Structure formats: C-alpha cells, structure tokens
Amino acid sequence: MSSTHLRHYWTAFRTIVTKEVLRFARIWVQTVLPPVITTALYFIIFGGLIGERIGEMEGYRYMDFIVPGLIMLAVITNSYSNVVSSFFGSKFQRHIEELLVSPIPNSVIILGFVFGGVARGLAVGVAVLLVSLFFSPLSVHNAPVMLVIVLMTSILFALAGLINGVFARTFDDIAIVPTFVLTPLTYLGGVFYSISLLPEFWQGVSMLNPILYMVDAFRYGSLGHSDFPVAMSFAIIAGFIAVLYSVALILLNRGVGIRS
Amino acid sequence: MTPALEIRGLKKTYKNGFEALKGIDLEVAPGSFFALLGPNGAGKSTTIGIITSLINKTAGTVKVFGHDLDTDLQAVKRSIGLVPQEFNFNNFEPIGEIVVNQAGYYGIPRREAWERCEHYLNELGLWEKRKDMARTLSGGMKRRLMIARALVHEPRLLILDEPTAGVDIELRRSMWDFLTRINTDGRSIILTTHYLEEAETLCRNIAIIDDGGIIENTTMKQLLAKLETETMVLDLSEPPPGLPEDAPVALRQVDELTLEADIRRGQHLNDLFRVLDQAGIRVQSMRNKANRLEELFIRMTRNGQSPSHLTPGASGASEQPENQA
C-alpha cells in the first residue's frame, strides 16, 4: 500500500470520526446528559442511601466500590448505542451510500464508526467520573491499566454495536440487544457486587460473562482490588475484539444488510 | 480511446429470483452526454447500482475508463460521481459538512475540501445555506446539494439518476445549463430521466433499456430519424367550415378550434397548408403533440416491441401513441 493511499485512508478515517463526534455532540441532550443523570441517581440511591446500610464491600466503602463499575456501565452502553444507532440511522436514511460509493476500505469504515463510539463512550465515562467526585474521592491505583481497559472495552462494545447495526432492519432491532442482552450482562457483571458474594455455582456462571472481566480489571486500576488476574482480563477482551472485528469485516465485505 | 464506461454481458438476478438485467452490453464514449432511458423497473437503477458498487452483479464485466470493477474497484470509485434518484444524505447535518465529508471519504484534506465545497455550492446557488440543516432545504435545493456532493472529488464520469425529478421548470433549465457546462469542460455524463425533453435537449447519445435488456443504443440524431410519423396540433383562429377531403395527411378535428395532423416522414407542410388555405381554415399556431423522443420511447418500450417496428413501412394506426393503452 502506497503512502498516498495511507494518507487518503487516514483522512477518510478522521472524517468519519469527526462526523460521528459532531453527530452525538449536536444532540448531547439525548446522548451525553441522560447517562450522567442516571448514574448520578445510582450514586445517590445505591451508593449513598442504600450503600450506607451495606457497609463495606471487599474492604472498600460501598460507594467507592461501585464507582468503577458505574463508569464502565456508562462506557459500555454509550459505546454500543452510539454505533448501533448511527450505523442503523445511516442505513435507514440511506446515507451509508455516501461511504459505499467512495474508495474507503471496509476496515477504515469499521474503525471510523468504532472510534466514533469510543469517543462517546469516553466522553460519557469522563462526565460520570466527574459526577462521581461529588460522592467519592478519585482513586487511581494503576492509571495505565484503567486507561487501556476502558479504551479496549469501548472498542469491543462499539464493534458489537456495529454488528447489531449491520443486521438491524427496524428500530426495534437496535433496542432488543441492549435491553435483553447488554443490560443484564452489565448488571450481572459485578458492577454492584463482588462475585465472591455469590454461591459457587453462580460464580461459575458469572465467569462466562465477559463484562465481569472488564469491570474487574477497571476496578483493579482504580482501587487495586480484583477477583481475577488483570492479564487474563486483557487477554479475554483482546480475544473478543479480534473476533468481533473479524465478524464485522466479513459482514461488510459480503455487503450484508447494505448491498443488494 | 478508452470508453468512459464499458459493460459486457451484465446480469443481475435478485435473491427473490427476479432477473433485473439479462446480459446487457453498453459502451459510453469519453466526454459524451449519454441518456439511459427506460420505463420504471426496466433495469436502469440496477445498472447504475452495479456501476457504483451499491449492488452486487451476478455476471458480466464493468469497466470505467479501463478500470475493472472486479480488480480495480478503488480506481472505479474514484472515477465516478453519483447523484442518486432518492435523497440519501443525513437530514440532520449542515449541507456544507455533507459536501466536505464526502470529499474526506475520497482522501481530500479538510481545507481543500472546504475550498471545493465553496466552489460547487456557489455554482449551484447553495453556498449561503452551507450552515443550514439539509432537512430545511426545498426539493430542488436537495437535488442541487446531491450534485455538489457528487462533484466534490472531481470525478471523470458523473451519473445522474433522475436529477431533476420534482424540480420546477426554471430551476431545471438552470441545472441543464450547469450540466452542459461541466460536460463541455470534458466530464462524461450518464443521465436517466423521465423528462424525455430533457434527454433530447442534453444528450448526444442514448440507450433504451427495457425488461432487463438494451433495445436501442445509438446517437440521438439517428434515433430521432427513425420517427416515422409526428402528430402536429393546429390551433385555429375560428371554427373550420369543414375538413378538406383532399388533405395530403390524416387530419381530424379534436374540438371546435383544434385540429390534429399526422405528418409522415418526407411529407411537406406546405402541401397541408395550401389545402387548409383553400378550405378556408385559418391556423393561428402549430406545435408537436408530443415530444419526438417521447413518441419513440412509448412505441419502443411498450409490450417489448423491438426497434424494427419503427422502420419505414411498419407504420399503422396501432403505432399512434395516443391510440395505445
């Protein structure tokens, strides 16, 4: 591949990401504000009111324990929903054709949408982090682990959102996965509790949930506590990213949902 | 010279079994203004969809300026600008950004993209509206936006699928002037339209597609020469005393002040007017009943009739467009 091609692809990538960022920034009342308000309510109700009665979790104040999980919850849902709604919207209004007629490789289209989703995930994650400072002091045990885990997690769920968007034919289709798959997995992924509290059988079941490892590794980066080795979490997330990226690329190359 | 577009044996069968294209061959010379006409469902949009890689072909080859769609897709895409039939931009995006983003997809840096955007939006009278959301534009403005978007990467071949649908006459003519100008500058243009006057005015070459096959591919001049009979409408200044029996053409009275005359190729209007004058019929004005290309188009595409029906000697009452279903 020549340097001219690489320059063109870089410009195309930046264009898609810029477009995606401007898209969610224009409608920040719908995209950024609601998760911040919802998470603030979690902090007040679960962390503050109920958490006071729970006491400590794994040696930490309950409020401090749930902060990393709630940040990850916001990152996961926003990375996912940004890409699924943007990609499906571009199919619905047919402006996906702007990309399909242009000489952009499918890999660049995927990366453009994914990093648009990452941008929203991180923007909301930072907003939630700032809100959390009203309730809990900022705790950083290992900043690089925190940053890399949050970045990889948002990439993973942005890819998942893209695949959902490829298959979606109606607005219902883009709501089903977040409602019936993503939300249960996230809530059961150790956001509000340590899995050591669960009976052995349910601990085993929980270990099939990839979100558990993301929340756990992020919590390690913040508090220094983890239920699993951080390296294992990295490996699992990287594996999922590789699989989902490959699936997304195959789907786009075959034109599933976008070409007759 | 390498053709702007070269199609050989192009077939498309959709998943539901519908055979949209049955192996078409088509060649468009570089620099030409080419009309691709056909009734609804004939295969025009499928052909354009395949050329622009929005639709996967079943068989055949497509080359754009010598670049093969199968082996050199990037070069094919860079060579083409598409103005689709349906509006296909983000309604919730400012129009300047729509054009600039399209340039970005072709690898054009943002500053240069804005310069090009300014040029084309100015040419099409939209620069003042660059910050407006696309949804606020009128139908005609949306059409012009799609033309600006299609041109921003300076394609050598511009494909326009019904570009003036729903556009008022004044605006349509200004778009014709613009398209003629960019064609004169050397850009090849393929146009599909239902306004046959538009095709006749703008295009030098024409292909007619019907039922998934090309039924005519020639120059506009040669095609129009095939027209055997034209129907002229004569507006009278006063009711006629009666129709002359020795009129050299088929003549009929439509209403009190209107006559229609079927003029065959080779007949002189002077003979008709002499007879009308002798009969005391005063003609105030005269016009074609239908656009010439329209007459041909209707005859050629109805019931899968072949162009041979248009050849001299094959004329008859059943070929009169106004008599056919």
Query: What H or E segment, with its residue span, contains residue A109?
Result: helix A106-132
| Nearest residue to A112 (alpha-carbon basis) of A147, A83, A80 | A83
Residue ranges of chain A whose pLDDT lies below 70: none
Q: Which domain holds residue A248?
A: 3-254
State the pLDDT at residue A110: 98
Is position A38 within any domain?
yes
Q: Which amino acid is at A190?
A: G
State the pLDDT at residue B325: 31
**Cβ B259 vs Cβ B252: under 8 Å:** yes
Instruction: Inspect the interface and report whether the beta carbons of B14 and A7 lie closer than 8 Å.
Output: no
pLDDT in tens, B85-120: 899 999 999 999 999 999 999 999 999 999 999 999
In this complex, the residue of A12, A94, A255 whose CB is nearest that of residue B56 is: A255
Is position A260 within any domain?
no
Beta pairing partners, B207? B36, B217
pLDDT confidence band for B251 (50 / 70 / 90) = confident
- Beta-carbon count within 10 A of B217 CB: 18
Structure-model confidence comparison of residues B266 and A253, the more confident one: A253
Beta pairing partners, A143? none
| Domains of chain B, each with CATH number or no CATH | 5-221 (3.40.50.300), 226-325 (3.30.70)
pLDDT confidence band for B262 (50 / 70 / 90) = confident
Gap between the terminal Cα atoms of chain A: 29
* Residue B131 Cα, gap to closest chain A Cα (Å): 13
Contacts with A, B 144-163, CB within 8 Å = 149, 153
Model pTM score: 0.84
Three-state DSSP state, B64 = strand
Instruction: Inspect the interface and report whether the beta carbons of A102 and B108 lie closer than 8 Å.
Output: no
Task: Determine the residue among B72, B105, B159 to mutate to test chain A binding: the one whose Cβ has the most chain A Cβ atoms within 10 Å.
Answer: B105
- For residues B9-34, average pLDDT: 94
Query: What H or E segment, with its residue span, contains residue A35?
Result: helix A33-42
State the pLDDT at residue B302: 56
Is position A158 within any domain?
yes
| Nearest residue to B22 (alpha-carbon basis) of B14, B13, B30, B11 | B11
Is position A259 within any domain?
no
Residue of A nearest to B58 (CA): A260
Instruction: Inspect the interface and report whether the beta carbons of B56 and A93 lie closer than 8 Å.
Output: no
pLDDT in tens, A180-216: 998 889 888 888 888 888 888 888 888 889 899 999 9
Instruction: Inspect the interface and report whether the beta carbons of A98 and B105 lie closer than 8 Å.
Output: yes
Task: Determine the residue among A8, A96, A102 to mutate to test chain B binding: the one whose Cβ has the most chain B Cβ atoms within 10 Å.
Answer: A102
In this complex, the residue of B14, B75, B88 whose CB is nearest that of residue A260 is: B14
Is position A123 within any domain?
yes
Give the ranges where chain B is alpha helix by DSSP (H). Answer: 44-51, 73-79, 95-105, 110-123, 139-151, 169-184, 196-202, 220-225, 269-278, 292-301
Percent of chain B residues past pLDDT 70, beyond the cut: 91
Question: Is the minimum CB–CB distance between A66 and chain B shorter than 8 Å?
Answer: no
Is position A223 within any domain?
yes
pLDDT in tens, B151-203: 999 999 999 998 888 788 888 888 899 999 999 999 999 999 877 788 888 99
Number of domains in chain A: 1
**Cβ A188 vs Cβ A209: under 8 Å:** yes
User: CA B294, B298, B302: angle at the middle one, nearest 5?
Assistant: 165
Instruction: Inspect the interface and report whether the beta carbons of B102 and A102 lie closer than 8 Å.
Output: yes
Beta pairing partners, B234? B259, B286
Which residue is listed with tokens 């509290």? Answer: A197
Is position A186 within any domain?
yes
Beta pairing partners, B160? B83, B191
State the pLDDT at residue B92: 93
Interface A-B: count of C-beta contacts within 8 A: 85
At residue B322, does pLDDT exceed 50? no
* Helices B169-184, B139-151: crossing angle, 10 deg rounding: 10
Contacts with B, A 117-176, CB within 8 Å = none
**In B153-172, which positions are buried (b, 16+ CB within 10 angstroms) versus exposed (e)?**
bebbbbbbbbbbeebeeebb
Instruction: Inspect the interface and report whether the beta carbons of B105 and A102 lie closer than 8 Å.
Output: yes
Question: Is the minimum CB–CB distance between A3 and chain B shorter than 8 Å?
Answer: no
Question: Is the minimum CB–CB distance between B57 and chain A shorter than 8 Å?
Answer: no
Question: Is the minimum CB–CB distance between A94 and chain B shorter than 8 Å?
Answer: yes
Question: Is the minimum CB–CB distance between A56 and chain B shorter than 8 Å?
Answer: no
| Nearest residue to B167 (alpha-carbon basis) of B122, B198, B208, B131 | B198
Q: Hey, what are B201's tokens? A: 């005015």
pLDDT in tens, B46-63: 999 999 999 999 999 999
* Residue B197 Cα, gap to closest chain A Cα (Å): 29
Question: Is the minimum CB–CB distance between A91 and chain B shorter than 8 Å?
Answer: no
State the pLDDT at residue B320: 33
Q: What is the DSSP letter of B133?
A: B
Q: Hey, what are B22's tokens? A: 């049955």
Which residue is listed with tokens 């407006």? Answer: B132
Question: Is the minimum CB–CB distance between B114 and chain A shorter than 8 Å?
Answer: no
Is position A122 within any domain?
yes
pLDDT confidence band for B220 (50 / 70 / 90) = confident
Instruction: Inspect the interface and report whether the beta carbons of B149 and A260 lie closer than 8 Å.
Output: no
Task: Give me chain B's average pLDDT, please.
Answer: 86
Instruction: Inspect the interface and report whether the beta carbons of A15 and B73 lie closer than 8 Å.
Output: no
Pairwise CA distance, residues A63 & A49, whole Å: 10
In this complex, the residue of A9, A16, A101 whose CB is nearest that of residue B52 is: A101
In this complex, the residue of A22, A26, A97 whose CB is nearest that of residue B54 is: A97
Q: What is the dihedral of CA A64, A68, A69, A70, to 10 degrees?
A: 90
Pairwise CA distance, residues A69 & A225, whole Å: 12
State the pLDDT at residue A130: 94
pLDDT in tens, B291-309: 667 777 777 775 444 444 3
